[in-house]
Amino acid sequence: MSAHPPPIDIAIDDHRIESDRGRLFARRWAPRLPASRVPIILLHDSLGSVELWRNFPAALSTHCARPVIAYDRLGFGRSDAFHGKLAPDFIATEADTSFAAVCEHFAIDRFILFGHSVGGGMAVHCAAKRPEACAALITESAQAFVEDRTVQGIEEASALFADPAQRERLAKYHGDKAQWVLDAWIGSWLSPAFASWSLDQTLPQLRSPLLVIHGSEDEYGSPRHPERIVALAGAAAQLALMPDTRHVPHREREAEVIERVSAFLQTVA
C-alpha cells in the first residue's frame, strides 16, 4: 500500500433536501481545493445512516481529494419517516426517488457511486439508470441475489435485536424510526415476494467501470455475490475479495478499502 497523502483541509456541511415523499438529510465533505472533481455518493446499508458511516467519508474525501456526499434514505437516520412498508422493488426504485432528489439538490450531473450492502444493489440500479452520468461504480458487500447465507444471517440478526439494548443502539441513529428500520430490513429480505430478487437483469446494463469489494467471511453473502456481479457486469469490472473480512470492510479495514478505491479511481475517473 502507498503512503497516505498529506492531509487536505475539508469543509463539512449538512443539507435538508425536499423530495416528493418527505425531507432527506445529507452531508457533504468537500476538499478546499481550487479544482472541482467528480463527487463520490455513498449509499448506506439496510440499517445504515449518514452517522453510521462514521469517519469513513472524511477519510475517503481527504485521500481521494474529492467531494463525498452521504444521505439518509427516507425512513432512516435524520430523514423523514417512511409511511408504510417497502415495496418489493425498493432497491430498483431508489434511483428515481431519494437518489434523484440528492442529485438535483447538489446539481450533480456526473458522479461516482459507492454502495454498501443493499446500497450496493441500489448503486447498480442508479448507475444503470444514468449510464452517461456515472463515471465509476464501487460496490461493497453487495448482495446480487437472495442466498441461503443471506437469509440465515438476517434470521440470526433478528434474534440478536430481540435484546432491548440492541434496539436502543439502533434508536441512537434512527430515533423513533428504529423499529420501522429493523422491520423494513427483516421483513423485506425474508418476504416470499422477495425470494426471487436478483441483479441479473440490471448488471448487463452497466456502462461504467466497476470495483467490487467483498469480505471472504461476509455473514450476509458468500463470494458467489461479487463473482456474479463481475461476471454479469456490462463493463470492465475488478474483484477485490478481502480475506478475513466480514460484512463491513470500510470499518474493519478502512485504510485498505480507501487505498483500493483511490487506486481504482486514479485509473478510471
Q: What pLDDT is stored for residue 246 in this prediction?
A: 97
Q: Does 225 fall in a domain?
A: yes
Q: CB burial class (10 A; 0-12, 13-18, 19+) of residue 234?
A: middle
Kindly state whether residue 1 falls inside one of the protein's structural domains.
no
Phi, psi at 151, each rounded to 5°: -60, -45
Which residue blocks in the chain are alpha helix, DSSP H?
56-64, 90-93, 98-105, 118-129, 148-160, 164-174, 178-189, 224-232, 249-252, 254-268
pLDDT confidence of residue 166: 87
Q: Is 22 inside any structural domain? A: yes
**Beta-strand runs (E) in 44-96:** 68-71
Residues in the chain, pLDDT under 50: 1-3
pLDDT in tens, 67-99: 999 999 999 999 999 999 999 999 999 999 999
pLDDT tens column, 29-57: 999 876 678 999 999 999 999 999 999 99
Total structural domains within the chain: 1
Is 36 domain-assigned? yes
The verdict on residue 4 lying in a domain is no
**CA gap 108, 110 in Å, rounded:** 6
In a domain, 5, yes or no: no
Cell numbers at 15, concatenated? 443539507
Which residue, chain included where needed, has cell 463539512?
12
Handedness of CA 93, 95, 96, 100 (dihedral sign): positive
Q: For the whole model, what pTM was predicted?
A: 0.95
Task: For residue 166, give the CATH number of its domain.
Answer: 3.40.50.1820
> For residues 143-171, b (16+ Cβ closer than 10 Å) or e, as one string?
bbbbbebbeebbeebbeebeeeeeeeebe
Residue 2 lies in a domain: no
In terms of Cα–Cα distance, which of 218, 171, 214, 179 is closest to 51? 171
Task: Give residue 129's domain range.
Answer: 10-268
Q: Is residue 152 part of a domain?
A: yes
